[in-house]
Amino acid sequence: MLSDRGHDNLWARTAREADPFSPLASDISADVAIIGAGFTGLSTALHLAERGLKAVVLEAQAIGHGGSGRNVGLVNAGMWVKPDDLIQTQGQEWGQRLISALGDGPKLVFDLVERFDIACEPERNGTLHLAVGDSGLADLRDREAQWQALGAPVKLLDAGTAARLTGTHAFRGALHDARAGTIQPLAYARGLARAAAAAGTRIFTHTPATKVARTGGHWQVETPGGTARAPWLVVATNAYTDPAQPGLLAAPQQELTILPFFQFATRPLPGELADRILPERHGCWDTRLIMTSFRRDRENRLIFGSVGSLESWSVAAQKSFARRSLRQLFPVLGEVEFEARWHGQIGMNKSHLPRFHVFGEQAIGVCGFNGRGIAPGTVFGKQMAGLICGAGEMALPATPVENASFASLRTWSYRLGSCAVHLISGYGSRS
């Protein structure tokens, strides 16, 4: 687990939704016990409550402590894997199901935000996938053709339009996806928790599940303050699964390789700069292998992210890379000062697609969002609730938990490799 020492997560500072929950301090029964209060666990709880089932959510730390409270906030439609590749690898039926469930994912997120009045800075104006060099442009052309063949509102913008919408001439074009947008992710997670609690879910924070066992047709989930008992169990711990936990509590970790990703936020930009940099507030990421992202928050801070961790030995290199990159992308910025920095763990797997697991009798979970978990976590949470109620199907087949080969070696190579690349490069010097 990456340490958060010296970090200041912007989302925690600016979230307008509260986290009023406290630890479990007695034994409790429910219809479903959910471990983990990120998008996946909270969406499951909310949709169960809407169908009349009571869930108890057990969270080891705070709401959104995992990826859900640390991410970029890009509410994407679909995964990294292109639609045609999805059909090829998953087959026609599962591929189509997944494409359509995830294509509608942003709609589900923005509908929930509106329905529950979640104060999470929603911007529903599409995202921009930015083309770096000829190969980046070719990749985006291919994505445009595949999505358009499916009728999706995805359009490749020329370099001039990309420059106007981003405020930089660094890109050969941009793929605009009108289904997508941005949110303040921690506020969204807290808003889901508020809505789920109002609908009857009991939520306990600072309540780590330390042991699970099935006895007498029920799951018993032990925590330091009491035991939760329920016929169904949902494990929603994804990349924040603690590998030291016993049994199925550690299972999701087995097949994940952890990719670290950091972000820096500037001070709020003055009005004249905000008019020039991302004037329409699009969320952006690029086509590079070591991907970078940038977006603005509601107060016009520019938030820049890339692959890597912010640890005592890497923070200076990553900070200097972020500064250099922002100066190269947006020379009008001048000297860049950061007021927040944080990192998080992305759970990657071999297929680059989320995987649905049946861990035991009436024990399920989805993990491996591969850096695309806002809409997919919300979608699969809703689908798991439907499955538990016997009123719906998953868009993913149930698969056995795989073993990620050389996972910790690869995680270390991401940590060290990104730092080495960022140490010697800026935004303009590689493609």
Check binding of 323 to ligand FAD (CB under 6 A): no
User: 156 near 144, Cβ under 8 Å?
Assistant: yes
What are the phi and psi torsion angles at 378 (to 5°)?
-65, -45
Closer Cβ to ligand FAD, 262 or 330, answer by number: 262
Residue with token string 């056995």: 400
User: Which amino acid belongs to residue 140?
Assistant: L
Check binding of 237 to ligand FAD (CB under 6 A): yes
What are the phi and psi torsion angles at 157 (to 5°)?
-95, 145
Check binding of 294 to ligand FAD (CB under 6 A): no
Residue of minimal CB distance from ligand FAD? 373
For residues 73 to 102, the per-residue mask of contacts with ligand FAD, x marking binding by CB under 6 A and - elsewhere, is xx-x--------------------------
For residues 361 to 400, the per-residue mask of contacts with ligand FAD, x marking binding by CB under 6 A and - elsewhere, is --------x-xxxxx-x-----------------------
Smallest CA-to-CA distance from 90 within 352, 275, 373, 315 is with 352
Check binding of 67 to ligand FAD (CB under 6 A): yes
Tokens of 77: 């439609």
Distance CA(91)–CA(102), nearest Å, equals 16
Smallest CA-to-CA distance from 335 within 347, 345, 348, 326 is with 326
Check binding of 72 to ligand FAD (CB under 6 A): yes
User: 384 near 366, Cβ under 8 Å?
Assistant: yes
User: 325 near 294, Cβ under 8 Å?
Assistant: no
Distance CA(366)–CA(394), nearest Å, equals 10
Distance CA(283)–CA(285), nearest Å, equals 7
- Nearest approach, Cβ of 331 to ligand FAD (angstroms)? 26
Closer Cβ to ligand FAD, 218 or 276, answer by number: 218
For residues 263 to 292, the per-residue mask of contacts with ligand FAD, x marking binding by CB under 6 A and - elsewhere, is ------------------------------
Distance CA(200)–CA(31), nearest Å, equals 12
Check binding of 60 to ligand FAD (CB under 6 A): yes
- Nearest approach, Cβ of 339 to ligand FAD (angstroms)? 18
- Nearest approach, Cβ of 272 to ligand FAD (angstroms)? 28
- Nearest approach, Cβ of 199 to ligand FAD (angstroms)? 18
- Positions touching ligand FAD (CB under 6 A) are 35-41, 58-61, 65-68, 70-74, 76, 208-209, 236-242, 245, 249, 261, 344-346, 369, 371-375, 377
